[in-house]
């Protein structure tokens, strides 16, 4: 239990009437005068022009450095650093007080997942726009409520008698009193008591997560019917009474132990769905009947072979045609927005969710709407037309979005065919007496081919077969468990919470001076890093600030100054250790270095006690730092080279700089060719060889942005910002208003002073992560030299193999198989050894050709050997009805080919051959039966015999194979023949 501290903010300037004449009139909707664009514009102008809010553009739907989210799913996501107190104090974000925007949001995974509901009703969406206004330590409850009421009733003209308001009723178990302050504000505004409704934690207390800022909220609900008392329908999921606006008052912090403490700064976070608001203002009962969707529904009808959209749901929607319209209209908006923001369909995380959305849309297009291939992507221009004026990236990226959707659709349709064939093959090769389909096959279809599990169920249902549901659930659970364990293995750094950061500021603890991380120099070709002596200003034990920690305790250490680089901008944090004055032989290893709210936090496990005021000496791992500097400067040069070779459309989509290698993700339509890889490497190494000077300078952010050709990524940059240029002084870039052919980027990382220290760069891997996004892995220096040397060794081995194969073909099957195996081993080495990627591609092409030649030779020799074996078996046994014998070979392929030749020579015979490998005891088995045989399927025969031999088999009704083991196969041959006679004579 704790005491509440209530504050009454300053009132709004000017008196507000309870109701305007317009809002008192009966509400009839106003579609012609309030299109969606005007609804959005009215909201933003109201807060920006009338109430002094800063208009902040929507962030991309890919979260900025927030691994807890798959997608941006609320307007507050981009402002979490302010709410958590971690915003860089030099950034524009740290100065925000009143803010408004319309945020692109996707709810299709994680906590908020509406994917399966989309299409079934008239309101759910995977993509929507969230209108919002925020106060960060400025106004609070009263002004927020008055502004909301004024906008809805006076500016939008929604009748007050259609609105109901909910507020937090309190929760005794949490020690939370009712939010009587908010209730009184609404009464003062003029909301009748009967329309002011209390609700509990679930409805009216908002939390960011398991811990962090939270607080009571008040919601405004709208009654579509009107002229009645609809209070009992509020928060009952009634389609007639819907929530339209949520005003959250963040005044508490949820601690890890679930207790609640008052925040040092109160904030307001509001959210109102544009689609639902437009629905109301245009007098509709369905979001899909508004001008945000009707152009899309019309475009879908133009490319489909079904009736026009009629808005039906449930049983009335015969054939699920209207559901399909809604699914496709919703999903193409989501796909367009996500792909334009750099999220592409893929195999994990947000990319996997987007892949499912695309495939769900394709299925409804093909199966229900009967559209031709490519129809889904043809809707992209319509999305751009509807949303592109407010989100210009939709216009800019339209062609790329179209290409990616088309490529993924083609791949999915191909996967459907492949999956269908696999299902049929499985059904034909396994005994289905109980009608149970192997869960492992269903899961493999889903995991590897992206085959929807519900589609597997439908295809099997048509054949009277079901998946082993219990086993499938086990596989799904196991997969989730493995993924969860992988995530849990990543140790989270010690991060100060919002209360501890505020306490540091209250105590006057200065922000960490980390300028020494840049103060290194070159002396006679060697980098000299500055010494750093510092004072412990604060200690954090994971929950609160403390004055002392004992030996063995994990803690966060804040110093007055540091030479350590904190992890940011894709560069790994520095490594090293502290020593304490007076205790020089005790080492405090630095495990993590992170930046939060202007404070650099060094995570250490204290080797001995440590307290505030202690003096420490910082010891930087200089080898690790220099390696990171090499990789970071190389990353900038690589980024420049890619754009120079591939064109200006290349966009950085992520990077990571570590001591051993660099990773760089970028947008490109397909994988790079051998020639392009060589050109990029050559461009990079020309700059390295020139030993160009790396210039850096701190500039005002606006001035830095004026430089043409400047490379930026989607980040919140500090102001002033650090600019890094290769080969050209920053002063020249500022004076030159033409695109400069050099690498120039905003970057907080540590860089070389001259490019020559990179020595060499080799791209050892380049592949498409998802359609349209490639990932490069590169090494530098000695690792690059080794990669080139190993590449030359592998080239010589491939050359040698080529000569041996072209000089003379193998004369025996054994020698041909040994050569084929040798090619396979060399192929594995080429695939998995760090060598230049361009060389890997060349060698892979040559080895595939050699493998084809080798395989052809092996097949010819196998056929020749099989002919000899078949002739010997026929001479020994004649053309009997049941022909069971043994052959001398180590190749299952030879056994099968021999069986096939015997069956060709004697098509009415039931043929089985066993091959006994005496040195290992392994028995190879193959059989074939006449085409019209109904009494004895080949698969049954092989399974029975191999089971007798303690092994397993599989195949079709006509041909089957398997293995077993035995010291003597005489009994097995006799048993196999008896089994066949028994079955064929029934």
- Residue 671, token pair as written in the block: 């994988």
Find the mean pLDDT for residues 502-530.
94
The Cα 146–Cα 127 span in angstroms is 29
- Sign of dihedral through CA atoms 978, 984, 985, 986? positive
The Cα 943–Cα 664 span in angstroms is 51
pLDDT exceeds 70 at position 363: yes
pLDDT exceeds 80 at position 60: yes
Find the mean pLDDT for residues 726-738.
83
- Sign of dihedral through CA atoms 260, 263, 266, 269? negative
- Residue 211, token pair as written in the block: 């811990």
The Cα 83–Cα 209 span in angstroms is 13
Contact 463, 427 (CB under 8 A): yes
Contact 726, 636 (CB under 8 A): yes
SS3 667: strand
Contact 776, 638 (CB under 8 A): yes
Number of Cβ within 10 Å of residue 323's Cβ equals 19
The Cα 836–Cα 678 span in angstroms is 9
Contact 953, 960 (CB under 8 A): yes
Sequence-separated (6 or more) residues with CB below 8 Å from residue 548: 539, 609, 610, 611, 612
Place of tokens 């005044």: 251
User: How many Å from the N-terminal Cα to the C-terminal Cα in the chain?
Assistant: 84
The Cα 696–Cα 849 span in angstroms is 50
Percent of the chain with pLDDT over 90: 63
The Cα 342–Cα 404 span in angstroms is 11
Identify which has the larger pLDDT, 257 or 406. 406
Q: Closest Cα to residue 710, out of 623, 769, 640?
A: 640
Please indicate if the annotation marks 747 as binding a ligand: yes
**What would the DSSP string read from start to end of 366-379?**
IIIS-PPTTTTGGG
pLDDT exceeds 70 at position 615: yes
Q: Closest Cα to residue 747, out of 633, 622, 649, 600?
A: 633
Question: What is the tens place of the pLDDT at every residue in 934-968?
Answer: 889 999 999 999 999 999 999 999 999 999 999 88
Tell me which CATH code domain 627-692+754-876 carries.
Answer: 3.30.980.10
- Residue 907, token pair as written in the block: 């098509």
| Residue 371 burial (C-beta neighbours within 10 Å; 0-12, 13-18, 19+) | buried
The Cα 198–Cα 182 span in angstroms is 11
The Cα 589–Cα 575 span in angstroms is 8
Pairing of strands 548-549, 532-540: unpaired
pLDDT exceeds 50 at position 671: yes
H/E run at residue 927: strand 922-928
Contact 201, 172 (CB under 8 A): no
The Cα 61–Cα 311 span in angstroms is 29
Question: What is the tens place of the pLDDT at every residue in 235-260?
Answer: 999 999 999 999 999 999 888 888 88
Contact 95, 71 (CB under 8 A): no
Greatest Cα pair distance in the chain: 111
Give the number of C-alpha atoms closer than 13 A to the C-alpha of residue 301, restricted to the C-beta side.
11
Number of Cβ within 10 Å of residue 401's Cβ equals 26
Helices marked H in 190-273 — which ranges? 201-204
**Alpha-carbon distances, residue 722 vs 634, 717, 740, 746 (angstroms):** 18, 9, 18, 6
Phi, psi of 436 (to 5 degrees): -110, 120
SS3 773: strand
pLDDT at site 737:
63
Sequence-separated (6 or more) residues with CB below 8 Å from residue 344: 338, 351, 354, 404, 769, 770, 771, 772, 773
837-877 vs 813-832: helix crossing angle, rounded to 10: 160
pLDDT at site 440:
82
Contact 743, 696 (CB under 8 A): no
Find the mean pLDDT for residues 212-237.
95
pLDDT at site 422:
81
The Cα 845–Cα 851 span in angstroms is 10
Contact 312, 353 (CB under 8 A): no
pLDDT at site 920:
86
Q: Closest Cα to residue 923, out of 953, 957, 893, 962?
A: 962
DSSP β-bridge partners for residue 721: 699
Question: What is the tens place of the pLDDT at every residue in 278-337?
Answer: 999 999 999 999 999 999 999 999 999 999 999 999 999 999 999 999 999 999 999 999
Tell me which CATH code domain 36-291 carries.
Answer: 3.30.930.10
Place of tokens 């937090």: 168
DSSP β-bridge partners for residue 249: 268
pLDDT at site 492:
57
Please indicate if the annotation marks 751 as binding a ligand: yes
Give the number of C-alpha atoms closer than 13 A to the C-alpha of residue 35, restricted to the C-beta side.
9
Work out the pLDDT band at 2, boundaries 50, 70, 90. very low
**178-198: burial string, b at 16+ Cβ within 10 Å, e else:** ebebbbebbeebebeeebbbe
pLDDT exceeds 80 at position 609: yes
Question: What is the tens place of the pLDDT at every residue in 552-604?
Answer: 889 999 999 999 999 988 899 999 999 999 888 888 999 999 999 999 999 99
- Residue 918, token pair as written in the block: 């005496």
pTM of the entire predicted model: 0.81
Work out the pLDDT band at 816, boundaries 50, 70, 90. confident
Question: What is the tens place of the pLDDT at every residue in 446-464?
Answer: 777 767 777 777 777 767 7
Under CATH, what is the fold of the domain 498-620?
Answer: Elongation Factor Tu (Ef-tu); domain 3 (2.40.30)
Identify which has the larger pLDDT, 669 or 273. 273
Contact 296, 287 (CB under 8 A): no
Angle at 467 between CA 466 and CA 468, to 5 degrees: 115
The Cα 961–Cα 963 span in angstroms is 7
The Cα 612–Cα 64 span in angstroms is 34
Domain boundaries, the chain: 36-291, 292-413, 429-482, 498-620, 627-692+754-876, 878-985
Find the mean pLDDT for residues 224-234.
95
Q: Closest Cα to residue 361, out of 383, 330, 400?
A: 330
pLDDT at site 542:
86
Contact 218, 234 (CB under 8 A): no
DSSP label at residue 980:
H
Find the mean pLDDT for residues 701-726.
85
- Residue 958, token pair as written in the block: 């006509």
pLDDT exceeds 60 at position 11: no
Identify which has the larger pLDDT, 926 or 701. 926
Give the number of C-alpha atoms closer than 13 A to the C-alpha of residue 183, restricted to the C-beta side.
16
Work out the pLDDT band at 346, boundaries 50, 70, 90. confident
pLDDT at site 474:
86
Contact 379, 328 (CB under 8 A): yes
Under CATH, what is the fold of the domain 878-985?
Answer: Diaminopimelate Epimerase; Chain A, domain 1 (3.10.310)
Contact 102, 390 (CB under 8 A): yes
The Cα 769–Cα 832 span in angstroms is 17
Please indicate if the annotation marks 636 as binding a ligand: yes
Identify which has the larger pLDDT, 492 or 274. 274
Mean pLDDT of the chain: 89
pLDDT at site 855:
87
The Cα 961–Cα 183 span in angstroms is 78
Q: Closest Cα to residue 976, out of 902, 923, 918, 914?
A: 914
H/E run at residue 309: none
Estimate to the nearest angstrom the gap between the alpha carbon of 877 and the chain centroid. 63
- Residue 964, token pair as written in the block: 């077993």
Please indicate if the annotation marks 331 as binding a ligand: no
Rg of the chain over all Cα atoms, to the nearest angstrom: 35
Sequence-separated (6 or more) residues with CB below 8 Å from residue 308: 301
pLDDT at site 21:
31
The Cα 415–Cα 362 span in angstroms is 12
């Amino acid at each position: 239990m704790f005491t509440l501290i209530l504050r009454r903010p300053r009132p709004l300037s000017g008196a507000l009437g309870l109701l305007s004449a317009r809002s008192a009139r009966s509400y009839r909707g106003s579609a012609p005068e309030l299109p969606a664009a005007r609804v959005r514009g009215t909201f933003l102008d109201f807060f920006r022009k009338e109430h002094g809010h800063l208009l902040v553009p929507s962030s991309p739907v890919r979260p900025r450095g927030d691994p807890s989210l798959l997608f941006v799913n609320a307007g507050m996501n981009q402002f979490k650093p302010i709410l958590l107190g971690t915003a860089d104090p030099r950034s524009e974000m740290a100065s925000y007080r009143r803010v408004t925007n319309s945020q692109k949001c996707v709810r299709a995974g994680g906590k908020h997942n509406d994917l399966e509901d989309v299409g079934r009703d008239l309101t759910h969406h995977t993509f929507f726009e969230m209108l919002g206004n925020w106060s960060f330590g400025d106004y609070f409850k009263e002004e927020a409520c008055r502004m909301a009421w004024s906008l809805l009733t006076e500016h939008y003209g929604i009748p007050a008698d259609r609105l109901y308001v909910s507020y937090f009723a309190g929760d005794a178990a949490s020690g939370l009193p009712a939010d009587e302050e908010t209730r009184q504000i609404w009464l003062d505004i003029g909301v009748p008591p009967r329309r002011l409704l209390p609700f509990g934690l679930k409805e009216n207390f908002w939390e960011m997560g398991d811990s962090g800022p939270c607080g009571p909220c008040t919601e405004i609900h709208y009654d579509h019917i009107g002229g009645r008392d609809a209070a009992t329908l509020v928060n009952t999921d009634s389609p007639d009474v819907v929530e339209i606006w949520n005003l959250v008052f963040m005044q508490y912090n949820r601690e890890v132990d679930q207790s609640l403490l008052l925040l040092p700064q109160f904030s307001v976070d509001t959210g109102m769905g544009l689609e639902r608001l437009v629905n109301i203002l245009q007098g509709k009962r369905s979001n899909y009947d508004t001008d945000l969707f009707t152009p899309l529904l019309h475009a879908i009808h133009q490319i489909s072979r079904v009736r026009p959209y009629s808005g039906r749901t449930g049983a009335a929607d015969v054939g699920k045609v209207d559901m399909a319209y809604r699914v496709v209209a919703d999903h193409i908006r989501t796909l367009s927005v996500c792909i334009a923001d750099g999220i592409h369909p893929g195999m994990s995380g947000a990319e996997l969710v987007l892949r499912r959305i695309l495939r769900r849309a394709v299925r409804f297009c093909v199966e229900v709407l009967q559209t031709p291939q490519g129809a889904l992507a043809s809707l992209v221009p319509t999305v751009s037309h509807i949303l592109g004026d407010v989100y210009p990236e939709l216009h800019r990226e339209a062609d790329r979005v179209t290409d990616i959707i088309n490529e993924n659709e083609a791949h999915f349709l191909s996967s459907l065919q492949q999956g269908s064939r696999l299902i049929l093959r499985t059904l034909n090769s396994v005994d289905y007496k109980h009608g149970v389909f192997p869960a492992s096959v269903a899961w493999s279809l889903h995991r590897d081919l992206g085959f929807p599990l519900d589609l597997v169920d439908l295809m099997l249902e048509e054949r009277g077969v079901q998946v082993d549901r219990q086993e499938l659930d086990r596989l799904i659970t196991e997969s989730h468990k493995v993924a969860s364990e992988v995530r849990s293995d990543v140790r989270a750094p010690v991060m100060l919470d919002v209360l501890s950061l505020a306490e540091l500021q209250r105590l006057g603890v200065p922000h960490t001076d980390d300028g020494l991380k840049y103060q290194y120099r070159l002396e006679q070709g060697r980098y000299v890093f500055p010494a750093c002596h510092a004072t412990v200003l604060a200690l954090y034990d994971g929950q609160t600030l403390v004055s002392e920690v004992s030996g063995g305790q994990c803690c966060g250490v804040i110093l007055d100054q540091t030479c350590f680089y904190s992890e940011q901008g894709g560069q790994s944090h520095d490594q090293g250790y502290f020593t304490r004055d007076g205790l020089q032989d005790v080492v405090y290893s630095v495990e993590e270095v992170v930046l939060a709210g202007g404070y650099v936090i060094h995570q250490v496990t204290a080797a001995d006690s440590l307290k505030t005021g202690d003096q420490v000496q910082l010891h930087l791992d200089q080898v690790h730092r220099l390696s990171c500097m090499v990789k970071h400067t190389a990353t900038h040069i690589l980024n420049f080279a890619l754009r120079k070779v591939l064109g200006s459309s290349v966009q950085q989509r992520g990077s990571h700089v570590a001591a051993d290698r660099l990773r760089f993700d970028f947008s490109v339509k397909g994988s790079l060719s051998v020639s392009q890889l060589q050109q990029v490497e050559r461009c990079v190494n020309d700059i390295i060889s020139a030993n160009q000077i790396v210039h850096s300078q701190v500039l005002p952010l606006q001035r830095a942005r004026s430089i043409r050709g400047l490379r930026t990524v989607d980040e919140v940059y500090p102001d002033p910002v650090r600019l890094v240029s290769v080969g050209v002084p920053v002063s020249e870039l500022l004076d030159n208003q033409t695109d400069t052919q050099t690498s120039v980027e905003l970057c907080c990382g540590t860089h070389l002073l001259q490019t020559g220290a990179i020595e060499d760069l080799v791209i050892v891997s380049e592949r498409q992560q998802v359609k349209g996004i490639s990932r490069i892995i590169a090494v530098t220096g000695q690792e690059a030299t080794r990669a080139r040397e190993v590449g030359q060794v592998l080239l010589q081995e491939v050359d040698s193999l080529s000569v041996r194969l072209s000089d003379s073909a193998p004369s025996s099957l054994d020698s041909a198989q040994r050569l084929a195996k040798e090619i396979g081993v060399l192929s594995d080495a080429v695939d998995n050894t760090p060598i230049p990627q361009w060389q890997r591609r060349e060698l892979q092409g040559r080895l595939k050709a050699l493998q084809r030649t080798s395989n052809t030779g092996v097949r010819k020799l196998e056929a020749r050997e099989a002919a000899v074996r078949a002739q010997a078996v026929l001479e020994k046994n004649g053309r009997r009805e049941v022909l069971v014998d043994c052959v001398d070979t180590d190749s299952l392929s030879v056994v099968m080919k021999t069986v096939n030749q015997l069956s060709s020579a004697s098509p009415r015979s039931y043929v089985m051959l066993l091959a006994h490998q005496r040195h290992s005891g392994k028995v190879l088995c193959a059989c074939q039966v006449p085409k019209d045989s109904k009494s004895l399927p080949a698969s049954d025969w092989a399974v029975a015999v191999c089971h007798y031999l303690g092994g397993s088999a599989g195949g079709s009704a006509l041909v089957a194979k398997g293995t077993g083991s035995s010291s003597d196969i005489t009994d097995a041959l006799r048993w196999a023949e008896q089994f066949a006679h028994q079955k064929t004579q029934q």
